[in-house]
Amino acid sequence: MIRVLIVDDSPSAAEFLSNVISSDPEMEIIGVAANGAEGLKMAERLRPDVISMDINMPVMDGFETTRRIMSSCPIPIVIVSSIYNADSVVLAFKAIEAGALDIINKPSASSGSGENRGVRDLLLTLKAMAGVKVIRRSADKIAPLAAERPAIAVTQSQIKLVCIGASTGGPPVIQEILASLPADFPAPILIVQHITPGFSAGFATWLDNTTSLSVHMASPGELPLPGHVYIASDNLHLELLPDGRLNLTSHPVCNGVRPSVSRLFHSAMAVFRNSALGIILSGMGKDGAEELKLMRDAGAVTIAQDQASSVVFGMPGEAVKLGGATYVLPAYSIAAMIKNLVKPI
Residues with Cβ within 8 Å of 149's Cβ and at least 6 positions away in sequence, in order, are 340
Could you tell me the maximum CA-CA distance found in the chain, to the nearest angstrom? 61
Q: Which of 52, 81, 88, 167 is catalytic?
A: 167
- Give dist(CA 200, CA 216) in Å, integer: 10
CA distance 7 to 42: 9
Output DSSP code: residue 257: B
- Active-site annotation holder among 52, 61, 194, 310: 194
How far is Cα 286 from Cα 299, in angstroms, rounded to an integer?
21
Please enumerate, as own/partner, the contacts of 13-19 that have beta carbons within 8 Å and a separation of 24 or more: 13/54, 13/106, 13/109, 16/107, 16/109, 17/52, 17/80, 17/106, 17/122, 19/113
Q: Name the burial class of residue 149, with classes exposed (0-12), middle (13-18) and buried (19+) by CB atoms within 10 angstroms of its CB.
A: exposed
Peptide bond just before 182 cis, omega within 30 deg: no
Q: How far apart are CA 112 and CA 320, in angstroms?
A: 40
Task: Please name which of 321, 83, 114, 54 lies closest in space to residue 202, comparing C-alpha atoms.
Answer: 83
CA 107/CA 110 separation, integer angstroms: 9
Is residue 184 among the annotated active site residues? no
- Tell me the torsion sign for CA atoms 93, 98, 103, 106: negative
237 labelled catalytic: no
Q: What whole-number distance in Å separates Cα of residue 21 and Cα of residue 47?
A: 18
Give Rg (Cα) of the chain: 20
Q: Given the residues 9, 54, 287, 306, select the one marked as catalytic.
A: 287
Q: Does residue 167 carry a catalytic annotation?
A: yes
DSSP assigned state of 260: -
Which residues does the annotation mark as catalytic? 167, 194, 287
